[in-house]
């Protein structure tokens, strides 16, 4: 719901806060701009998780990712509980860790009973070291290496087979593993392309037919026939994913219906498919006009469609899996920056520079993503200026937010950009040789470091200088 205000009201950073009388457990985090614990203290400073953001910057520096544990746990519980409520069969929520994979995040979602979706050996290694149960880990990817496949097999997680090349390699690897029969058969799922379009950025649409991911639906019968003859492969499920940052309800309903038809087709080949993974893709609120479904609304629709379709096809209910990423973690995190220089271009625009930019948040320059920001130390000061927030990188396109509505800023003000938990740290780079920022998790007035700020020494740690160049 978009908030409206009388014309005479001068808005401030407070406009993004939840009313203090709301029960945060009932609020869908993906429909909020700030974390659920966001408050304004007596110094007119933004607090998250009971911690003053300006104090956090003093202690840990900036840029700084600030993860609100309560918001993340609330989203985990809403997914877990709504699937239990609306689905009559077994269910499992998986965190799509490509959104933000690190030890602390993996540990939090694991403690809430979620499994995890990984897309590389590095993500798998991190999840395992965070204590995630291998039985709840699913390895995705369209071009997994042999090393990644072997690590997944030896760890005991499920491999989501994406293409013919991967199926052949899995059979070959299985043949080489015969000395250790405990590793066989290899537990797999099949990723299929459903051919469902949705309105989102072209780079994050994965369900339409022209996609690098998944088996073509025209090959469905051949795939099922091949897998059914491989004793070394235990095909337990089917997987599909239609994209990311989706607000529409119907594409996910269509997907669930199509996937149940695949279950019927698999049964014709003697395959006992016990799991159905409908992917993720639920969008979040980045700006006031964004109107994504709530976690409960999305989950309920998926559960109902799968159940109805299974009944109509006279099929037993499979274990229902989903793998949200962005809608779990994006709004749980903000990024704090320190304001530096400014530049007024008369009658055109005012630039306000921050001490980060495209290296810690590449989404604006990559996807043309739009964000909202507040000045953490001036939460009640009216927003009287329209400025362009510029990053510090040597790129004219390093613009974090165009036409940001802010109070008058000064050097050393603390600027907070909202909704930065997904695909910010995970896509961060060392462009211009900037060290990647630190990250903290906050809860009940306590802040804990979960990612150390990189140093200059870290930047050259992998460099090699041949003797002849010295």
HEC string of 137-190 equals: EEECCCCCCHHHHHHHHHHCCEEEECCHHHHHHHHHHHHHCCCCHHHCCEEEEE
| Chain centroid to CA 247 | 15
Per-residue pLDDT, 7: 44
Residue 400's φ and ψ, nearest 5 degrees, are -80, -50
Cβ–Cβ under 8 Å, residues 389 and 400: yes
Q: Where in the chain is the domain with CATH 3.20.20.10?
A: 87-324
Strand 64-68, strand 333-345: pairing: antiparallel
> Are 162 and 213 contacting, i.e. CB atoms less than 8 angstroms apart?
yes
- How many CA atoms are closer than 13 Å to the CA of 363, on its beta-carbon side? 22
Report the greatest alpha carbon distance in the chain.
77
CATH number corresponding to 87-324: 3.20.20.10
Burial of 183 (0-12, 13-18, 19+ CB in 10 A): middle
- The pLDDT assigned to 196 comes to 57
* DSSP state for residue 202 in the 8-state scheme: G
Handedness of CA 325, 328, 331, 334 (dihedral sign): negative
CATH 2.40.37.10 domain residues, the chain: 13-69+331-457
Q: Rounded to whole angstroms, what are the CA distances from 375 to 129, 237, 446, 462?
A: 37, 48, 22, 37
Q: How far is the C-alpha of 374 from the C-alpha of 420, rounded, in Å?
A: 13
Collect the ranges in the chain with pLDDT lower than 50. 1-9, 198-208
Q: Which fold has domain 13-69+331-457?
A: Lyase, Ornithine Decarboxylase; Chain A, domain 1 (2.40.37)
Evaluate if pTM is beyond 0.85. Answer: yes
Q: What single-letter DSSP state applies at residue 117?
A: E
Helix (H, G, I), strand (E, B) or coil at 272: coil
pLDDT of 203: 35
Report the catalytic residues: 394
The Cα–Cα gap between 77 and 282 comes to 16
DSSP 53-112: HHHHHHHH-SSEEEEEHHHHHHHHHHHHHHHHHH-SS-EEEEEEGGGS--HHHHHHHHHT
- pLDDT for 247: 64
The reported pLDDT for the residue numbered 264 is 87
Q: What pLDDT score does 5 carry?
A: 45
Which two tokens mark 151? 């690590």
The sign one gets for the Cα dihedral 38, 42, 43, 49 is negative
Separation CA 287–CA 19 (nearest Å):
18
Of 399, 409, 417, 413, nearest in space to 357 by CA = 399
pLDDT, residue 204, reads: 34
């Amino acid at each position: 719901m978009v908030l409206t205000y009388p014309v005479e009201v001068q808005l401030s950073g407070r406009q993004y806060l939840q009313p203090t009388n709301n029960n945060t457990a009932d609020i869908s985090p993906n429909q909020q701009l700030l974390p659920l614990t966001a408050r304004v203290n007596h110094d007119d400073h933004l607090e998250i998780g009971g911690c003053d953001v300006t104090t956090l910057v003093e202690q840990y520096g900036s840029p700084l990712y600030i993860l609100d544990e309560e918001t993340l746990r609330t989203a985990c519980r809403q997914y877990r509980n709504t699937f239990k409520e609306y689905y009559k069969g077994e269910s499992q929520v998986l965190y799509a860790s490509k959104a933000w994979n690190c030890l602390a995040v993996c540990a939090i979602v694991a403690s809430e009973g979620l499994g995890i979706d990984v897309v590389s050996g590095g993500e798998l290694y991190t999840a395992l070291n965070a204590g995630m149960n291998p039985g709840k880990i699913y390895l995705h990817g369209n071009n997994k290496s042999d090393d990644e496949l072997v690590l997944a097999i030896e760890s005991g997680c499920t491999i989501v087979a994406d293409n013919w090349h991967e199926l052949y390699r899995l059979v070959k690897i299985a043949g080489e593993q015969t000395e250790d029969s405990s590793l066989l058969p290899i537990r797999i799922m099949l990723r299929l392309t459903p051919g469902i379009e949705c309105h989102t950025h072209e780079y994050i649409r994965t369900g339409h037919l022209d996609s690098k991911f998944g088996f073509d639906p025209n090959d469905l019968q051949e795939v099922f026939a091949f897998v059914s003859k491989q004793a070394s492969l235990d095909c337990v499920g089917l997987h599909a994913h239609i994209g990311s940052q989706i607000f529409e309800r119907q594409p996910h309903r269509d997907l669930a219906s199509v996937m149940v038809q695949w279950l019927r087709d698999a049964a014709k080949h003697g395959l006992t498919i016990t799991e159905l993974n409908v992917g993720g893709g639920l969008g979040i609120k980045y700006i006031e006009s964004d109107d994504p479904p709530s976690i409960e609304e999305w989950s309920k629709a998926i559960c109902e469609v799968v159940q109805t379709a299974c009944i109509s096809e006279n099929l037993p209910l499979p274990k229902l899996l989903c793998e949200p990423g962005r809608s779990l973690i994006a709004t749980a995190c903000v990024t704090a920056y320190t304001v530096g220089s400014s530049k007024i271009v008369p009658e055109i625009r005012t630039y306000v520079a921050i001490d980060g930019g495209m290296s810690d948040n590449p989404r604006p320059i990559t996807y043309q993503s739009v964000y909202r920001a507040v000045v953490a130390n001036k939460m009640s000061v009216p927003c009287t200026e329209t400025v362009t927030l510029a990053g510090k990188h040597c790129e004219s396109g390093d613009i974090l937010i165009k036409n940001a509505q802010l109070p008058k800023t000064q050097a050393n003000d603390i600027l907070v950009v909202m909704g930065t938990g997904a695909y910010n740290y995970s896509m961060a780079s060392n462009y211009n040789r900037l060290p990647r920022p630190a990250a903290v998790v906050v809860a009940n007035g306590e802040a804990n470091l979960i990612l150390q700020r990189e140093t200059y020494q870290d930047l050259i740690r992998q460099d090699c200088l041949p003797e002849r160049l010295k």
